[in-house]
A and B are shown apart, each in its own frame.
Chain A
Amino acid sequence: MIEILQHGLYTSIQDMGRFDYQSFGVPLSGALDQHAYRIGNQLLNNPERAAVLECTLKGPKIRFHKNSYIALTGADIQPQLNGKPIKNQTPIEVKENDVLELGTAKIGCRAYLAIAGGIKTEKVLGSRSQFKGLTREERISKKILLPTGDSNFKPVKGARLQIPNLDFNQKTLEVYVGPEYHLLKKAQKKILEESTFTLSELNNRMAYQFNEKLPHQLPQIWTAPVLPGTVQCTPDGSLIILMRDAQVTGGYPRLFQLTDGALHQLAQKKTHEKIQFKILTSIE
């Protein structure tokens, strides 16, 4: 069991997401940075789909009710255990009554707190990911006790996990062209390929928007299935990148589709940060 003493800015329980209910209109959900999420569980030998806490910009303060191990991945959120700084990306032993305090994200935007055995809140439609209207709470917004699973994890001395370096300063987002991209004029394609786009304040688990607009005359499309990483363009030229809580269908032209890597990278960007699109060769 862990006790949330302070909930932080936007903290939610997330796992790999809900895969089987999109035909009922249920969003995928799950950790936005699936790469960091996966590493956290791997470090603790957790089941692949174990639930973790996703902590955004300012993390929560937590008391442990039993001895366990934790791992922090993703953004560097300046974690302290009983007042002493601890490392990211490695298993950390915690004792009953220890207090973990997560600070503000110094590099990146979202930190993941995995705990040995995973968080064991109720599964709804196959997932513990919190989502408005599905789970009892849409995020952690009060002092609360969260059940955790059993685990006999012990770190093996000398064992190391090969973790690829994450570069949160990387500006480039790799994309594939979307179904309506070819309808754009040359000049518009040039803007998309060469300009830098600034992340607007409208960024959350559903979608990210940018300050710059792309004037266009693209027609509306018949409502079509969309997925996280789809880059849509609204009639006023706003670019919208769908994230994991996005609705499953959309009616705006689809310009790009982000790679998984680009989607994880974008999840670590903060308001006002800049990005650039890099178009990959289409799969033949």
Chain B
Amino acid sequence: MTKNPLNFRVLALHPKVLLLEWDQEPSETLLAFLLSFQIILEKQVKVTRCTMGYQSLLVHLLVDMKSLAWWKQRLLELQPKVENQTVNKGRHWKIPICYEPEYAPDLLALAEAVQLKPEEVVQLHTQTRYRVYFLGFLPGFLYLNGLDKRLYCPRKEKPLLKVPKGVVGIGGMQTGIYPSSSPGGWHLVGTTPLSLFDAQQQPPCFATAGDWISFESIDSKNYKALQKKINQGTFRLKPHD
């Protein structure tokens, strides 16, 4: 039974920052509630912006709060609005990934670790629609939910100092794309030629919290063709449906 998403604790982390935290496992129900709450809160004149995690919302205030009790009351008053807020169903983005060995240095090792054939790993990785819960870690890094349990695999003992941009990793119960080169401990199972983050674009990342992502397997020939288009600026990813 899912707990009522209305039960959350409110903390004043700082005179200008409220933390709303739900004591329950991340779920689609909770995500929908967080997204709705964020929309309602960001409409309040006293709120400048909100940031999200799996089970929490950080609310930045315009000026120092005089009392936490006042805010608790206000949040209670806002709840009916949150419940009536139309749920963001999210757009669906299909991200092309090349799983060939040259682009997937750890695919064989991961397949062995989870006792599957490499093509079965690709099959399982591409058949899921993942939900974007929020962005964090690096600009344009999507926290994705929905990895098939058969692909759960502990992170590498020794993290790589430099995982290249666009590489798709699997680590623990998560999968994700490195939007820029960074140190990382995930198993590298593929690469996308797409840019997940571009500071010159508005918005800088095509996906937002609540969107859906799926991976589409492409061969190296298509990878190179797509990369060429991207470099020439003649490719723009469009949401599916």
Interface residues of A (CB under 8 A from B): 19-27, 124-125, 133-134, 176, 178-179, 222-227, 229-230, 247-249, 257, 259-260, 282-284
Contacts and interface: CB of A to CB of B under 8 A. Distances in A.
Nearest to B137: A247
Contact of B140 (A22, A25, A225, A283): A25
A284 B52 contact: no
Contacts of B15: 283
A257 B52 CA distance: 18
B61 to A, nearest CB: 11
Given A179-B11, A247-B138, A22 B26 contact: no
29 contacts: A21-B139, A21-B204, A24-B135, A25-B137, A25-B138, A25-B139, A25-B205, A26-B139, A26-B204, A125-B204, A134-B139, A222-B56, A224-B55, A224-B58, A225-B58, A225-B134, A226-B58, A227-B51, A227-B58, A229-B14, A248-B51, A248-B136, A249-B51, A249-B134, A249-B136, A249-B143, A259-B14, A283-B65, A284-B68
Interface residues of B, number: 43
A191 to B, nearest CB: 22
A221 to B, nearest CB: 9
A125 B200 CA distance: 8
Nearest to B58: A225
B57 to A, nearest CB: 7
Interface string B36-76: 00000000000011111111111000000101110000000
Contacts of B12: 176, 282-283
Contacts of A24: 135, 139-140, 197, 203-205, 208
B167 interface: no
A227 B17 contact: yes
Contact of B14 (A19, A124, A248, A257): A257
Nearest to B65: A283
Contacts of A260: 14
A283 B67 contact: yes
A179 B21 contact: yes
Given A24-B204, A223-B143, A225-B57, A249 B137 contact: yes
Given A25-B139, A247-B138, A222 B17 contact: no
